[in-house]
Structure 1
Amino acid sequence: MSSIYPIEVSIDSFQELVIKKSHKQLVILDISAQWCTPCRILEPILSSVAAEYNNDEFSLTKLEAEDENMKIAGQFSVRGFPTVIAFIRGKEVMRFHSVQTHDFIREFIDKNLQEFK
């Protein structure tokens, strides 16, 4: 077990920390908003599940959908928060919305780790 905390992503760092990095490892992007109650509930669940994996298995990232960062949310047609997107080799491969269980998130990560290999 390892402790993985979400890496904060912005419009300026998105290409480097999500798109480019997804060529080396799976990147999970949590798009959320500070005012969003489900977002605040989901974040510790994501972090808890991510801590069950090794740091080098995937990258857990977070984008606060505010100001300029909303352009990224729009680019990926995000219609509600939270939206969690898996990226492999620069492309979105899967997503989910709203609060989910530990088991659901673990299955989401495992399925995408298999796809990455």
Structure 2
Amino acid sequence: MPKKSFSEIINSPGMPVLVDFYADWCGPCKAMAPVLEQLAQQHQGKLKVIKIDVDRNPAAAQQFRVQSIPTLILFHKGQPVWRQAGAVPAGQLTQAVQPFLS
């Protein structure tokens, strides 16, 4: 199966996509990893969670004006509908994605 581009993933109809802009050297990013994994498992089939390494994908980070990491952006039908810079508690993250889950 061919690998989809970032824009193909976020523009896919149906399920919302939560994008984690991170870097391997970022402490708060590492702290968010288990929270995001848990969220992805809880909402499997309803929410797609992807990680974008800003060091390897500077164009994607620049396109969405990511200035600090981690930055989380929720896309629904290709549009950013929620955005948060910095680590987010699991409860707040769940509240943010809930309205967009089908």
TM-score range relative to shorter protein? 0.7 to 0.9
Matched residues in 2 for 1:105 and 1:85: separation?
Answer: 11
TM-superposition CA deviations, 1:77-115 (whole Å, max 9, x none)? 1110000101111111111111111111111111332xx
The residue aligned with 2:23 is: 33
The residue aligned with 1:16 is: 8
TM-superposition CA deviations, 1:12-44 (whole Å, max 9, x none)? 72022222x2x2211111110111110010011
The two structures, once aligned, show a CA RMSD in angstroms of 1.7
Matched residues in 1 for 2:18 and 2:46: separation?
Answer: 11
Structure 1 SS opposite 2:8: helix
**TM-score normalized by the length of structure 1:** 0.77
Matches within 5 A, 1:1-117: 13-19=5-11, 21=12, 23-53=13-43, 55-67=44-56, 69-113=57-101
Give aligned-pair identity as a percent.
Answer: 27
Say if 1:25 and 1:88, in contact at 8 Å, map to a contact too. yes
Structure 1 moving runs of 4+ over 6 Å: none
Structure 1 SS opposite 2:75: strand
Matched residues in 1 for 2:81 and 2:19: separation?
Answer: 12
Unaligned runs of 5+ in 2: none
Structure 2 SS opposite 1:73: helix
The residue aligned with 1:4 is: none
Matched residues in 2 for 1:17 and 1:93: separation?
Answer: 15
Paired residues in the alignment total: 100
Structure 2 SS opposite 1:95: strand
Letter matched to residue 17 of structure 1: I
Letter matched to residue 43 of structure 1: A
**TM-score normalized by the length of structure 2:** 0.87
The residue aligned with 1:6 is: none
